[in-house]
């Protein structure tokens, strides 16, 4: 007998919302295969590969495939996208790891550079470095939303290969496509502003020019937030 389906936490739920209906998807760095299991049970995907570089999470993923009686999900030991075939992954979710590692995974998989493919990226750290990588390497952020989960706020990006149209602007590396139209986005922007202010103040003696730039960006970000939300 199939067990009642679980709820995804808000972070994974937003990633799920970005996956296109009927897609073949790959979940890189899978969290016990919760995301692909949920998507299959909701009838949202055609098939999935749940991949991880460690055997422990894959063993847990296998248990969940059996527990929820999935039909079109496979589990695979893979360093990033190394063992994933292009035809298996129209939509690729890379979530729950640092932005620099996400960029590294993309950099060694040239087949992701196809306009019809979609990347759903959720960095835990180093989001500005990831956005810079995307901008410098022909990727465009089509959509970006912030989400609060377990006391933290994260950004989820929907990305595709779109060379020749780099996203610009001094604020882009820090907030990407986010706008202060949700509480989570405002929290994210405030945190970015505060972090830049700390960095800027720390560089005031060593690199005054860079310190001035960071503090200017922090001010610009702060001005995006309604005054009542700055308290």
Single pTM value for the model? 0.94
Residue 190 in any domain: the answer is: yes
Residue 172 in any domain: the answer is: no
The sign of the torsion formed by the CA atoms of 221, 172, 181, 27 equals negative
Check whether residue 22 and residue 65 sit in a common domain.
Answer: yes
Distance from C-alpha of 124 to C-alpha of 189, rounded to nearest angstrom: 15
Residue 178 in any domain: the answer is: no
Residue 180 in any domain: the answer is: no
Residue 124 in any domain: the answer is: yes
Residue 76 in any domain: the answer is: yes
Contacts of 198 (CB under 8 A, 6+ apart): none
- Note the pLDDT of residue 158: 98
Check whether residue 149 and residue 35 sit in a common domain.
Answer: yes
Q: Strand, coil or helix: what is 27?
A: strand
Contacts of 156 (CB under 8 A, 6+ apart): 11, 14, 15, 18, 95, 120, 121, 122, 144, 145, 146, 147
Torsion of CA 122, 158, 26, 70, to 10 degrees: 90
Number of domains in the chain: 2
Q: Which of 96, 116, 108 is nearest to 133 (CA)?
A: 108
Check whether residue 162 and residue 191 sit in a common domain.
Answer: no
Contacts of 16 (CB under 8 A, 6+ apart): 8, 35, 38, 39, 44
What range defines the domain where residue 204 resides? Answer: 185-229
For each of the chain's 231 residues, which pLDDT tens digit applies? 456 689 999 999 999 999 999 999 999 999 899 999 999 999 999 999 999 999 999 999 999 999 999 999 999 999 999 999 999 999 999 999 999 999 999 999 999 999 999 999 999 999 999 999 999 999 999 999 999 999 999 999 999 999 987 788 999 999 999 999 999 999 999 999 999 999 999 998 889 999 999 999 999 999 999 877 766
Residue 155 is part of a domain; what is its CATH number? 3.40.50.150
């Amino acid at each position: 007998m199939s067990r009642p389906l679980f709820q995804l936490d808000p972070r994974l739920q937003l990633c799920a919302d970005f996956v296109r209906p009927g897609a073949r998807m790959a979940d890189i760095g899978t969290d016990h295969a919760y995301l692909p299991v949920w998507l299959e049970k909701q009838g949202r995907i055609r098939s999935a590969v749940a991949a991880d570089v460690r055997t422990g999470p894959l063993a847990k993923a296998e248990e969940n495939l059996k527990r929820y009686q999935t039909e079109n999900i496979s589990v695979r030991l893979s360093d990033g996208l190394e063992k994933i075939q292009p035809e298996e992954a129209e939509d690729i979710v890379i979530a729950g790891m640092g932005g620099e590692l996400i960029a590294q995974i993309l950099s060694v998989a040239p087949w992701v550079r196809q306009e019809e493919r979609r990347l759903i990226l959720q960095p835990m750290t180093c989001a500005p470095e990831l956005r810079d990588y995307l901008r410098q390497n022909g990727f465009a952020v089509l959509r970006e939303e912030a989400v609060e989960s377990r006391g933290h706020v994260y950004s989820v990006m929907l990305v595709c290969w779109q060379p020749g149209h780099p996203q610009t602007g001094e604020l882009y590396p820090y907030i990407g496509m986010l706008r202060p139209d949700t509480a989570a986005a405002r929290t994210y922007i405030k945190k970015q502003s505060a972090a830049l202010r700390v960095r800027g103040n720390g560089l005031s003696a060593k690199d005054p020019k860079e310190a001035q730039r960071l503090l200017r960006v922090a001010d610009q970000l702060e001005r995006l937030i309604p005054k009542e939300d700055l308290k």
